[in-house]
């Protein structure tokens, strides 16, 4: 399927500035450079990549993904697929199994790449899983254009999108309880839907479960060989090959005067940058933008692989730790009970992440926005619950509280990793009905606070650049 932005009229040469080198900032920069603009990107940090960076957070030789780790959306991205990222050093690794979800009986529910294998593992609920996911997974190569695009708009695949939308707009809990009879399928779906960072009783939490499951069956949940930094480095390298310039350690404090300014930042950050240039009603709209819960994250250097009780977990890139749907829903709706933990174990599949025989693991749980609570013990207890002996393998740990995450990257307001809450009110009209535009000529928002929202896919930047280029011709 062709997917291109038309360039500027021949002979037109304009300058553009991009603030921020997250995946959306880099995608916007690439699109503008491909259209013939002279583009300079400014990054406050010493390293490019925003939420897709890697670092030796614990011990020398142990490489950790600081933020994003698993990339079903990047490998599905209609804009990334147009870029020669492999020629610029990006290599995907597919873990043997995308996801395992251990339970207290010592077993684990498995979401395999194969729909067949997943259905077989779900027993009596296998047929219901097939009915729900098969059309979405089979149609994923088309559907991804709609779910990773701005809404509302006429979908490219109306029938499939209608089918998806009917289920997606439901609360995840209601959908899981209506479709599945058994605890295993319900737990699996609850864990997937909890990526929404919404209470599972609210709309549209089901959308996230469906998207992640469909992508898992269709394209897998890959990790980047050598760490998520490689995604950003490949984007940056491709951008520079188009003539673009990147300046790191270059924090922008006032909106530049260039003809196009793309802001890979969230609404709260745009306010001080724009000063009194923004009209008061628009300032008030931005100030009302709502951020979601934060995350508390731990990275571990480990002496050995995590000693999972359920063997299936040893083959999975991602492991969801939270037990039953009811338990996960309790945590996600008000942070009581035990935390729902999202864990990845990249060194099992990528030897570059740790010294020979040693391992890394990455995990986080959702907490109230800006929470100062130390979740280390609660989070490690959840791992220990399904992997007795885990703590004895820890060589070192690195902890990020929500405030430390925000300090690391100002886009993570209060530890919110999605660039703002994704409830119904902010899912489509994000950050408001203007979406990428602002009242200032040439100034656009292009971060995950615009559609289609959070995740490493670059599509916010892609569509913001398309909007900016339309405004120029």
Site for ligand FAD, rule CB under 6 A: 19-25, 42-45, 50-52, 67-71, 73, 251-252, 264-265, 269, 295, 297, 364, 405, 409-412, 417, 419, 447-448, 454-456, 460
Task: Provide, rounded to whole angstroms, the least separation between the CB of residue 104 and ligand FAD.
Answer: 26
Task: Provide, rounded to whole angstroms, the least separation between the CB of residue 125 and ligand FAD.
Answer: 27
Is the CB of 44 or the CB of 395 nearer to ligand FAD? 44
Task: Provide, rounded to whole angstroms, the least separation between the CB of residue 296 and ligand FAD.
Answer: 9
Task: Provide, rounded to whole angstroms, the least separation between the CB of residue 68 and ligand FAD.
Answer: 3
Helix (H) or strand (E) holding 133: helix 126-138
Helix (H) or strand (E) holding 168: helix 158-168
Q: Please state, as a whole number, how many other Cβ atoms lie within 10 Å of the Cβ of residue 324.
A: 15
**How far is CA 162 from its chain centroid?**
24
Dihedral angle over CA of 197, 449, 28, 74, nearest 10: 10
Q: Are 229 and 22 in contact (CB under 8 A)?
A: no
Is the CB of 48 or the CB of 185 nearer to ligand FAD? 48
Q: How far apart are the C-alpha atoms of 32 and 464, rounded to whole Å?
A: 10
Is the CB of 65 or the CB of 125 nearer to ligand FAD? 65
Is the CB of 99 or the CB of 128 nearer to ligand FAD? 99
Task: Provide, rounded to whole angstroms, the least separation between the CB of residue 408 and ligand FAD.
Answer: 8
Task: Provide, rounded to whole angstroms, the least separation between the CB of residue 431 and ligand FAD.
Answer: 12
Task: Provide, rounded to whole angstroms, the least separation between the CB of residue 419 and ligand FAD.
Answer: 6
Is the CB of 269 or the CB of 382 nearer to ligand FAD? 269
For residue 198 the two structure tokens come to 């919404």
**CA–CA distance from 310 to each of 106, 107, 114, 124, 423 (Å)?**
5, 5, 20, 21, 35
Task: Provide, rounded to whole angstroms, the least separation between the CB of residue 325 and ligand FAD.
Answer: 22
Helix (H) or strand (E) holding 399: strand 394-400
Q: How far apart are the C-alpha atoms of 290 and 48, rounded to whole Å?
A: 27
Read off the DSSP letter of residue 67: S
Is the CB of 186 or the CB of 195 nearer to ligand FAD? 195
Is the CB of 35 or the CB of 70 nearer to ligand FAD? 70
Read off the DSSP letter of residue 250: -
Q: How far apart are the C-alpha atoms of 221 and 77, rounded to whole Å?
A: 13
Q: How far apart are the C-alpha atoms of 112 and 137, rounded to whole Å?
A: 13
Is the CB of 36 or the CB of 418 nearer to ligand FAD? 418
């Amino acid at each position: 399927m062709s997917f291109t932005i038309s360039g500027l009229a021949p002979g037109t040469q304009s300058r553009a500035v991009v603030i921020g080198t997250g995946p959306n900032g880099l995608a916007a920069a690439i699109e503008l450079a491909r259209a013939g603009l002279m583009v300079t990107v400014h990054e406050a940090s010493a390293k490019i990549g925003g939420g897709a960076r890697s670092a030796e957070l614990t011990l020398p030789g142990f490489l950790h993904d600081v933020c994003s780790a698993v990339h079903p959306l990047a490998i599905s991205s209609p804009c990334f697929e147009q870029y020669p990222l492999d020629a610029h050093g990006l290599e995907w690794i597919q873990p043997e199994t995308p996801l395992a979800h251990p339970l207290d009986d010592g077993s684990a529910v498995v979401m395999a790449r194969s729909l067949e294998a997943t259905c077989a593992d779900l027993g009596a609920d296998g047929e219901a899983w097939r009915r729900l996911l098969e059309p979405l997974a089979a149609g994923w190569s088309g559907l991804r254009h709609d779910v990773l695009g701005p809404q509302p708009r006429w979908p490219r695949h109306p029938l499939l999108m209608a089918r998806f939308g009917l289920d997606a707009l439901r609360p995840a809990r209601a959908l899981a309880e209506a479709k599945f009879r058994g605890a295993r399928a319900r737990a699996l779906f609850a864990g997937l839907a909890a990526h929404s960072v919404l209470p599972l009783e609210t709309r549209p939490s089901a959308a996230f479960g469906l998207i992640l499951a469909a992508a898992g069956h269709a394209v897998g949940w890959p990790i980047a060989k050598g760490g998520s930094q490689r995604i950003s480095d490949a984007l940056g390298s491709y951008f520079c090959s188009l003539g673009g310039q990147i300046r790191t350690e270059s924090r922008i404090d006032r909106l530049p005067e260039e003809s196009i300014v793309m802001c890979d930042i969230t609404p709260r950050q745009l306010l001080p940058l724009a000063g009194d240039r923004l009209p008061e009603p628009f300032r008030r709209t931005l100030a009302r933008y709502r951020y979601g819960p934060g995350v508390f994250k731990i990275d571990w250097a480990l002496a050995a692989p995590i000693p999972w009780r359920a063997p299936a977990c040893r083959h999975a890139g991602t492991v969801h730790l939270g037990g039953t749907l009811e338990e996960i829903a309790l945590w996600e709706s008000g942070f009581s009970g035990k935390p729902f933990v999202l864990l990845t174990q990249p060194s099992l599949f990528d030897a570059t992440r740790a010294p020979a025989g040693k391992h890394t693991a990455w995990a986080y749980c959702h907490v109230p926005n800006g929470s100062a609570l130390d979740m280390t013990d609660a989070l490690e207890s959840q791992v220990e619950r399904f992997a007795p002996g885990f703590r004895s393998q820890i060589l070192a740990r690195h902890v990020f509280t929500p405030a430390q995450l925000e300090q690391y990257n100002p886009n993570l307001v209060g530890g919110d990793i999605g660039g703002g809450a994704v409830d119904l009110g902010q899912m489509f009209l994000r950050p408001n009905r203007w979406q990428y535009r602002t009242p200032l000529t040439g100034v656009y928002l292009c971060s995950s606070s615009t559609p289609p929202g959070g995740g490493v896919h670059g599509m916010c930047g892609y569509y913001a650049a398309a909007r900016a280029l339309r405004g120029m011709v």
